[in-house]
């Protein structure tokens, strides 16, 4: 069964360092998303991406964040200068061209900023 | 800002009991999904409800979407220890990429004791 894969599963970094989280969405999906979940809190929408550009972004997704689909398969989230409060699980998700909002999530990348 | 209030936050019951989890909002959603999330993993889709008043059944799980598409419930009949986990409801926005822009509830941690 097709699945969304994410790497790394866990990354520990120092405050101020750049981090890139990688995702391989399901191959025939067209819409891509990043969500994050701070420990003990709700899953929160960060950004949506379609047709090689950002479609929507939340208030959380400030200038320190960027997304890219550098080739036909990878979808990356970059945090330019990490802060302590960026520590969270980051989930990549993708969906087909439907209007039902069914997302398929990856297993997540745990980011720990020290 | 759309909000989705999920209750109860914690539920601890004995095997064989029935339970209901509620998701309520003042906003209208284009659809509502229920996910189950295991520790350290991403949310896994259980069901999507789209039409107001819709009821869907998945074995012992019954999902209902409110007539006004603002609320939903998950009912589990004769709960089993294998049902233990975190259950999340999520409402979808409307139009294009917004269908995948989900607003999540806080989640319900269900524990079913043998």
Q: pLDDT tens across B52-75, in order?
A: 999 999 999 999 999 998 999 999
Q: Is some CB atom of chain A closer than 8 A to the CB atom of B93? A: yes
Question: What does the DSSP 8-state code read for residue A103?
Answer: -
Inter-residue long-range contacts of B45-52, CB under 8 Å, 24+ positions, other chains counted? B45/A102, B45/A103, B45/A104, B46/B87, B48/A100, B48/A101, B48/A102, B50/A100
Give pLDDT tens digits along chain A (114 positions): 779 999 999 999 999 999 999 999 998 898 999 999 999 899 999 999 998 999 999 999 999 999 999 887 899 999 999 999 999 999 999 998 766 668 899 999 999 999
Contact at CB, A100 and B31, closer than 8 angstroms: yes
How is residue B9 written in tokens? Answer: 């936050």
Contact at CB, B40 and A105, closer than 8 angstroms: no
Alpha-carbon distance of B31 to B52, in angstroms, equals: 9
Give the one of A31, A44, A91 whose C-beta lies nearest to B97's C-beta.
Answer: A31
Which residues face B58 on adjacent strands? B61
Alpha-carbon distance of B13 to B23, in angstroms, equals: 19
Residue A21 parent element (H or E) = strand A19-24
Count CB atoms within 10 A of the CB of residue A31.
24
**Which pLDDT belongs to residue A70?**
84
**Which pLDDT belongs to residue A71?**
84
Give the one of B35, B100, B106 whose C-beta lies nearest to A33's C-beta.
Answer: B100
How does strand A31-37 pair with strand A88-95? Answer: antiparallel
């Amino acid at each position: 069964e097709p699945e969304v894969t994410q790497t790394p599963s866990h990354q520990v970094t120092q405050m101020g360092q750049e981090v890139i989280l990688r995702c391989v969405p399901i191959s025939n999906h067209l819409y891509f998303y990043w969500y994050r979940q701070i420990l003990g809190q709700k899953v929160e929408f960060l950004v949506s991406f379609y047709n090689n550009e950002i479609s929507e972004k939340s208030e959380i997704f400030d200038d320190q964040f960027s997304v890219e689909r550098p080739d036909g398969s990878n979808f990356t989230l970059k945090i330019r200068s990490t802060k302590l409060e960026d520590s969270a699980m980051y989930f990549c998700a993708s969906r087909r061209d439907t209007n039902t909002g069914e997302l398929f999530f990856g297993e997540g990348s745990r980011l720990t900023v020290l | 800002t759309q909000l989705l209030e999920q209750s109860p936050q914690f539920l601890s019951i004995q095997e064989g009991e029935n339970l209901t989890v509620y998701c309520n909002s003042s906003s209208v959603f284009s659809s509502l999904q229920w996910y189950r999330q295991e520790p350290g993993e991403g949310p896994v889709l259980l069901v999507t409800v789209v039409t107001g008043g819709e009821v869907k059944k998945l074995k012992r799980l019954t999902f209902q979407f409110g007539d006004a598409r603002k609320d939903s419930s998950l009912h589990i009949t004769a709960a089993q220890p294998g049902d233990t986990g975190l259950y999340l409801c999520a409402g979808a926005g409307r139009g294009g990429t917004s269908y995948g822009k989900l607003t999540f509830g806080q989640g319900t941690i269900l524990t079913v004791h043998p």
